[in-house]
Amino acid sequence: MGWIALHDGHESRFEPDGLTDGPAVVASDWGERALLPRGTLRIEFGDDSPAPDTVAILRLSRTAPWAETLRLCVEADGGLRFAHRQGAELKSARLPVPRPGAGLAGQVLSLSWDALARRGWLSLFDPSAQRLWQTDLVAPMPLWLGDIRQIVARPLAQGLRWLAVSDRVEPAGPMPGLDGAARLATPAGPVPISDLKRGQIVTTADGGRAQIRWVGSAEVIGCGSQAPVTLRAPYHRLIRDVAASAAQRVELGGTEIEYLFGAEQVSAAAGDLKDGRSVLAMRETPVRTYWQVLLDTVAAPLVEGAAMQALDIAPMLADPGVLGQTVLGNLPLELLPVGIAAEVPRLETYEAVTYAHHRAA
């Protein structure tokens, strides 16, 4: 089924049959004691991320059918600590991660468990650095559906943008960001990304060609960094409107970019370019499906005429073991790009917002 619960900061939804695009469905037929043997609890941190001291961002406690407590904390030194007790049994893990600058703002925390396989993971993805940290959970215990209902029914802790739960082990790390109808340029003409296959050649923004090493999709929570936006033609050299996630990075160039940022090209998150004209916010939905490609080179593919970055895993290639829990989990290691590095400077949110307002003025 996938995502079954969501608190988006305004509304709480608990739908064990799967989140729907519309009014929340009342789940009266589901027992509180039904087990969730595998799943993922995911949190996105907002701009007001927790202050640098120990903060509990998630707490759960119950006394029936037996005593149970669950606690997820951000520690003063930046570590993440998880502890889950059922009866006399305790499972815990700690993930040491740095918290530079604005702390955890924009980062995504995932707690995944598979009690049947006796495996689980605690991970944190930093989209600004494209870094994924993770640690194993040994023999994690399942949660009750009643636990999930209780977790999403409470107001979000300070610094959280949204919290969601899936009944599957969901991929962590960099997420796809293009609508399936978006067309990529190929030597044979534009092809919807959902129709592309591994091994096909696409045309890149620098006039070259690149081979697809992976193409696929993921079902994600459609708010926060994955909220949908529309990039409108003819802005950003688009020949047709493109729906994408707010996190999808667009490459920008020209004399204005060189003057403002001292580089021939930069990249910006599509959501940071919203100006009411060239990039528009779309109606948020609980769940969205996005697509993306991984290329054998760092060059950006042409998407409806605009340069949009493909999946960027360069910072993770030094530790390819973490890729097993990403959307690339089934990709053979020999197909991973070798020795690539991000070549285009990434604009911070405030820089991209300033640029968008400058263009709209």
Q: Is the pLDDT of residue 228 over 80?
A: yes
Predicted TM-score (pTM) of the model is 0.92
Alpha helices by DSSP H, 122-211:
145-153
What CA–CA distance (Å, rounded) separates 229 from 182? 13
Matching residue, tokens 């636990």: 147
What CA–CA distance (Å, rounded) separates 51 from 191? 46
Q: Is the pLDDT of residue 193 over 50?
A: yes
Name the nearest CA neighbour of 122 among 113, 134, 108: 134
What CA–CA distance (Å, rounded) separates 350 from 106? 13
Q: What's the pLDDT score for residue 337? A: 85
Exposed e or buried b per residue across 174-188, where buried means at least 16 C-beta atoms within 10 angstroms of its C-beta: bbbbbbeebbbbbee
Choose the weakest-confidence range: 30-39, 110-119, 126-135, 174-183.
30-39
Q: What's the pLDDT score for residue 100? A: 47
What CA–CA distance (Å, rounded) separates 246 from 280? 10
Q: Are strands 228-231 and 242-245 parallel, antiparallel or unpaired?
A: antiparallel
Matching residue, tokens 């929570």: 221
Please name every residue paired with 307 in a beta bridge, in sequence order, or none if there are none: 302
pLDDT interval class at 27 (50, 70, 90): low
Q: Are strands 306-307 and 3-7 parallel, antiparallel or unpaired?
A: unpaired
pLDDT interval class at 344 (50, 70, 90): confident
Q: What's the pLDDT score for residue 320? A: 79
- Indicate the DSSP class of residue 108: E
Output phi, psi for 46, to 5 deg. -90, -170
Q: What's the pLDDT score for residue 341? A: 58
pLDDT interval class at 20 (50, 70, 90): confident
Q: What's the pLDDT score for residue 32? A: 61
- Indicate the DSSP class of residue 7: E
pLDDT in tens, 264-296: 899 999 999 999 999 999 988 999 999 999 999
Q: Is the pLDDT of residue 101 over 50?
A: no
Question: Strand order of the sheet with strand 183-184?
Answer: 191-192, 183-184, 302-303, 306-307
What CA–CA distance (Å, rounded) separates 127 from 248? 11
**How many other C-beta atoms are found inside a 10 Å radius of the C-beta of residue 199?**
10
Please name every residue paired with 71 in a beta bridge, in sequence order, or none if there are none: 59, 83
What CA–CA distance (Å, rounded) separates 72 from 120? 15
What CA–CA distance (Å, rounded) separates 248 from 245? 5
- E strand or H helix that includes residue 14: strand 12-14
3-state secondary structure of 10: coil
Find out whether 120 and 110 touch, Cβ atoms under 8 Å. Answer: no
Q: What's the pLDDT score for residue 49? A: 63
Find out whether 193 and 182 touch, Cβ atoms under 8 Å. Answer: yes
Say which residues have a Cβ less than 8 Å from residue 117's Cβ, sequence separation at least 6: 38
Find out whether 76 and 53 touch, Cβ atoms under 8 Å. Answer: yes
